[in-house]
Structure 1
Amino acid sequence: MSKSLGNGIELDASAEEIRDKLKKAKTDPSRIRKDDPGHPGICPVFSYHEAFLAGDAPEIRESCERGSIGCTACKEKLAEGLNALLEPMRERRAYYEAKPADVDEILQSGTAKARGIGRETMREVREAMRIDYFGR
């Protein structure tokens, strides 16, 4: 959420971790009370709305500028949206964490495929550079 160490939202963060980090996030410093008009252009939380929940961003911008949504409610909407976005990833991660043998098989298969492609690419490189001394 900023350049500070430990202040990012990791893709494997739980729903509660995301809420906790967003609670601490800085917002519009000129906004003292909930119903004060906000300035979404300088609010880091609104930047996340634009980046990850673009469909809701115009409504959030308008509500913020009117002062009809407070920063806490704005952060909660962002947390809900991010959690909905990340939930499918959490499910896939949990699936593969429970099946380490499948992960090993996928990695071995991918490695074999990459080696084959690499071998063919290097054959083409050697041929193009005319350094195919041994006919590999």
Structure 2
Amino acid sequence: MLVEPKPLVGDVPRLVGLDGNNKMSKSLGNAIDLDSTQEEVSEKINKATTDPARIHKTDIGHPEICPVYAYHQAFRKEGSDEIYESCKKGQIGCMGCKQKITQSINDLLEPMRERRIVYQNDSKKVDEILMAGTEKARLVAKETMQEVREAMSMNYF
């Protein structure tokens, strides 16, 4: 039985880019790539736009308009409330906030970096995985197309 697919786009909030102006985009240069090194992540986050009204660490912050806080909500859910409160009270500066999210993003990316190295050094394994995936996709597509033809009464063969 065919099931109508439901869209996934729109259910997930988009993160604003590191520049604070546009959606995160590789072409705009305001994104963190999944293959970024720890140093690249740190450099990109350190350049990220923060609350423009905050000049000093002790100034009262506005995390609801700070792009870096949005990253905390996405990647440090368990610590985002603490960041929110500390920022609102002027107890944490933007650099301290950026250091925490940098660590969380690097922790998230580290297993990907490790797996990437394994596959970069074994192109034969990558080819095997791609071939197996292609064969599996062919089988699923064949079955799906049979269901489509039957559902549309186009089962001529």
Report 1:6-85 matches (<5 A): 6-85=29-108
Give the letter for the 2:41 counterpart.
Answer: I
Give the letter for the 1:89 counterpart.
Answer: M
In the other structure, the counterpart of 1:120 is 143
Cα deviation code 1:15-51 (max 9, x no counterpart): 1101101111111111111111111111100010011
Structure 1 position 111 matched with structure 2 position 134? yes
Larger-gyration structure (1/2): 1
Structure 1 position 132 matched with structure 2 position 152? no
In the other structure, the counterpart of 1:93 is 116
Offset, 1:73: 1.0
- Give distance in 1, aligned partners of 2:147 and 2:74: 42
Give the letter for the 2:154 counterpart.
Answer: I
- Give distance in 1, aligned partners of 2:82 and 2:152: 59
- Give distance in 2, aligned partners of 1:71 and 1:129: 59
More deviation, 20-29/122-131? 122-131
Secondary structure at the aligned position of 2:77 is classed as coil
Aligned length: 134
Cα deviation code 1:89-110 (max 9, x no counterpart): 1111111111111110011011
What are the ranges of 5 or more consecutive residues in structure 1 without an aligned counterpart?
none
- Give distance in 2, aligned partners of 1:82 and 1:125: 43
- Give the alignment's Cα RMSD to 1 decimal: 1.5
Among all aligned residue pairs of Structure 1 and Structure 2, give the percentage whose two residues are the same amino acid: 54
- Report the structure, 1 or 2, having the larger helix content: 1
TM-score, with structure 1 as normaliser = 0.91
- Give distance in 2, aligned partners of 1:112 and 1:90: 27
- Give distance in 1, aligned partners of 2:69 and 2:91: 15
Cα deviation code 1:37-75 (max 9, x no counterpart): 111111100010011111110111111111111101110
* CA separation of 1:38 and 1:117: change in aligned 2, threshold 3 A: same
Give the letter for the 1:35 counterpart.
Answer: T
